[in-house]
Amino acid sequence: SEQKAEYKARIKALLAEKDAVLVAHYYTDPEIQALAEETGGCVSDSLEMARFGRDHPAKTLIVAGVRFMGETAKILSPEKRVFMPTLEATCSLDLGCPEKEFSEFCDAHPDHTVVVYANTSAAVKARADWVVTSSIALEIVDHLDSEGHKIIWGPDKHLGAYIEQQTGTEMLKWNGACIVHDEFKAKHLHELKSMYPQAAVLVHPESPASVIELADAVGSTSQLIKASQELENEMFIVATDKGIFYKMQQLAPHKTFIEAPTGGNGATCKSCAHCPWMAMNGLVAIENALIAEDLSEHEIFVDEALREKALLPLDRMLNFAA
Ligand code: 13P
């Protein structure tokens, strides 16, 4: 950990020297979140990451998260250089929604408004009318429904089903899922709940409907953190990436947070709910993004014509949220 302290000190100096700011997601490891906080950066959900990166005066953004978050930052701030600890940090939702197939799906239903989750490539966003994150999906779909739009939704089938259930809107849905949230199991969660009946259950809507059904609060990472503060329970069972425990525990040190069970084959898996791509955002990788000889291994570029198209649905979301 002495070595870690040295890394942190070097990264802090480099951020200042390069007029760079660290923008981290709640699913990154605790030391990365702490570093973002200590250096005047941000740790937040995907909507706030986008807003923070766009509005911050720094010339350079270091985005610690997964690829679509770096792309979103670049789409919103083409004048900034955007680097990621690794460009390999992808997302199963993004991978499961290739632009060509998704476009064909959209083309087959030309009378539909296309709403996509932020967890998608720039190319898929460019095909969309609206981008949403989980913190604003319900409001935006409600709004579109009230205007009489028929909706195509992609790629997360569980979030899509949750939106349909909450808004009463039927949508044509893509069949994607997050590999982390898809693993939460209602049966095991039910058992854990009966062991700890005093605990409130917090669930991210990328989880299966059967798990969402057992929740006391459902929402984006920032909404779940808020619920963990506002609900009076002293104990919480949390069904989302375990990276979120850092902030929940920091804001409510006296409360107890336990992981919702995951896993197939009849066996529950402890500490499995952590995105392997989020986990790639370590201190070494962050330092590399600031000093590597070959920065092309870290820099996000988005083709300008594509960027302009992808900006429209992103701007719609941010203006709606404002
Ligand atoms: P939110 O932080 O917007 O809830 O998104 C979670 C997520 O899918 C990150 O990849």
Q: 114 CA to middle of ligand 1, Å? A: 20
d(CA 231, CA 306): 43
Helical axes 30-38 vs 2-17, angle rounded to 10°: 40
**How many CB atoms neighbour CB 276 within 10 A?**
11
Integer-rounded Cα radius of gyration of the chain? 19
> What values do phi and psi take at 54, rounded to 5?
-65, -40
Q: What is the DSSP letter of 22?
A: E
Which ipTM was obtained for this model? 0.96
Q: 320 CA to middle of ligand 1, Å? A: 18
Cα 135 to Cα 73, 96, 114, 117, 167: the distances in Å are 18, 22, 18, 11, 14
CA nearest ligand 1 atom 9, residue: 46
Closest atom of ligand 1 to 221 CA is 4
- Max distance between CA atoms of the chain, in angstroms, equals 59
- pLDDT value of position 267: 53
Ligand 1 pocket, residues with Cβ under 6 angstroms: 25, 27, 45-47, 66, 91, 119, 133-135, 220-221
Instruction: Identify which of 42, 44, 45, 162 to mutate to test ligand 1's pocket (most ligand atoms within 8 A of the CB).
Output: 45
Q: 204 CA to middle of ligand 1, Å? A: 9
What are the beta bridge partners of residue 152? Answer: 114, 172
- pLDDT value of position 37: 98
Per-residue pLDDT of the chain (322 residues; tens, 9 = 90+): 899 999 999 999 999 999 999 999 999 999 999 999 999 999 999 999 999 999 999 999 999 999 999 999 999 999 999 999 999 999 999 999 999 999 999 999 999 999 999 999 999 999 999 999 999 999 999 999 999 999 999 999 999 999 999 999 999 999 999 999 999 999 999 999 999 999 999 999 999 999 999 999 999 999 999 999 999 999 999 999 999 999 999 999 999 999 999 875 445 555 579 999 999 999 999 999 999 888 899 999 999 999 999 999 999 999 999 8
User: Which residue in the block uniquely carries the two structure tokens 């779940």?
Assistant: 224
What are the beta bridge partners of residue 103? Answer: none
Q: 43 CA to middle of ligand 1, Å? A: 12
- Give the contacts of 95 (CB within 8 A, at least 6 positions apart): none
Q: 65 CA to middle of ligand 1, Å? A: 10
Q: 314 CA to middle of ligand 1, Å? A: 15
pTM of the model: 0.96
Task: Please give the full DSSP string across 64-117, using - where no structure is assigned.
Answer: ES-HHHHHHHHHH-TTSEEE-S-TT---HHHHTS-HHHHHHHHHT-TTEEEEEE
Cα 142 to Cα 47, 108, 127, 132, 164: the distances in Å are 18, 24, 21, 12, 10
Instruction: Identify which of 91, 95, 133 to mutate to test ligand 1's pocket (most ligand atoms within 8 A of the CB).
Output: 133
Q: 46 CA to middle of ligand 1, Å? A: 5
Q: Is 126 exposed, middle or buried (0-12, 13-18, 19+ CB in 10 A)?
A: buried
- pLDDT value of position 266: 47
Q: Is 60 exposed, middle or buried (0-12, 13-18, 19+ CB in 10 A)?
A: middle
- pLDDT value of position 268: 56
Closest atom of ligand 1 to 91 CA is 10
Cα 217 to the chain's mean position, in Å?
Answer: 18
